[in-house]
Amino acid sequence: MSSASKGDRKASLDAASWLFNVVTSVGIILVNKALMATYGFSFATTLTGMHFATTTLLTVVLKSLGYIQTSHLPKSDIIKFVLFANCSIVGMNVSLMWNSVGFYQIAKLTMIPVSCLLEVVLDNVRYSRDTKLSIILVLAGVAVCTVTDVSVNTKGFIAAVIAVCSTALQQYYVHFLQRKYSIGSFNLLGHTAPAQAASLLLVGPFMDYWLTNKRVDAYDYGLTSTLFIILSCTIAVGTNLSQFVCIGRFTAVSFQVLGHMKTILVLFMGFIFFGKEGLNLHVVLGMAIAIAGMIWYGNASSKPGGKERRSFSLPTSKTQDYAAVPVSSESVEKV
């Protein structure tokens, strides 16, 4: 196969992976918003545990059918990954409870510079001037259209720091483990999802009771709300996998930068389905700035020297084509 054909195929797989992540991520946020705001199911941590339990079930079925090959991942790496991932989920929910929505959004924006710092320190990645400026433009645009009231206290600040650092580490670790052990996205999910499901389902009810003062077992599970929970769990499988696929194919920083496209889409879809309150020139301007920054980032980072790793200490064996397998989880954000 010619290099041009390989390049076209890679570009097509990259676009398909990213599109799948955008569709599933936006879909699950809209479903969860309806589930929590309309039907009062505010148990975010427990719901995330259900998501991983569903993902675990699917990986077990696919492995029994031969679609997932047996692979090895040290328990120490699994424990570290699950620790980072669960701290990210719990930290985000606690941060949202203790901080204003404005500071919560600012904390989410800081994940990009933190992810950049991890790549610079751990992978010796260097960014061009245009790449850095495009990231700043994305941050500015998202801040304009999402950040409103900003208030913070000591415990809220600590929760936000834990949430941001653990999320950045979890996303970096996805890329790191796939490169180090040459395993695909479903294989990595097969190793990590069971531990996340067990830990979140064990801790989730207590965490949710602490956050909402409501018991998940006392919730009135009607037919419609149960169907929404099932739909949320189903979409979450795609969200979990597509996140691993995208970070494996790109990097945690690229995933974060382009991920703000989902923030813009969620805002836009929210205005369509849940009313146009809050839609004004200020928000539209912020969306336009963010989208311009994302386009600039994609162009700048793909150029020679735009974003490159100066040294690479991991094994050089060829990794799997992550998008070839049959397709945090984005953490569930409380509404």
> Domain residues of the chain, as ranges?
15-304
In whole angstroms, what is the distance from residue 189 CA to residue 175 CA?
13
pLDDT tens track for 25-46 = 878 878 988 898 888 898 999 9
Q: Which of 186, 318, 310, 302 is nearest to 244 (CA)?
A: 186
Decide if 39 contacts 225 (C-beta within 8 A): yes
- Quick check: 47 and 332 in contact, CB under 8 A? yes
What is the pLDDT, as a whole number, of residue 127?
85
pLDDT digits (tens, 9 = 90+) for 144-186: 877 766 677 788 889 889 999 999 999 899 888 988 888 888 8
**Token duo for residue 87:** 């701290």
Angle at 201 between CA 196 and CA 205, to 5 degrees: 140
Q: For position 279, what pLDDT does the model report?
A: 60
Residue with the two structure tokens 């037919």: 223
Collect the ranges in the chain with pLDDT lower than 70: 1-4, 6-7, 101-102, 148-150, 266-267, 269-280, 308-335
pLDDT value for 157: 87
Q: Is 214 left (phi over 0), alpha (psi -120 to 50) or beta?
A: beta
User: With contact defined as beta carbons under 8 Å apart, do 106 and 143 qualify?
Assistant: yes
Give residue 22's pLDDT. 82
The tokens describing 8, both together, are 């076209």
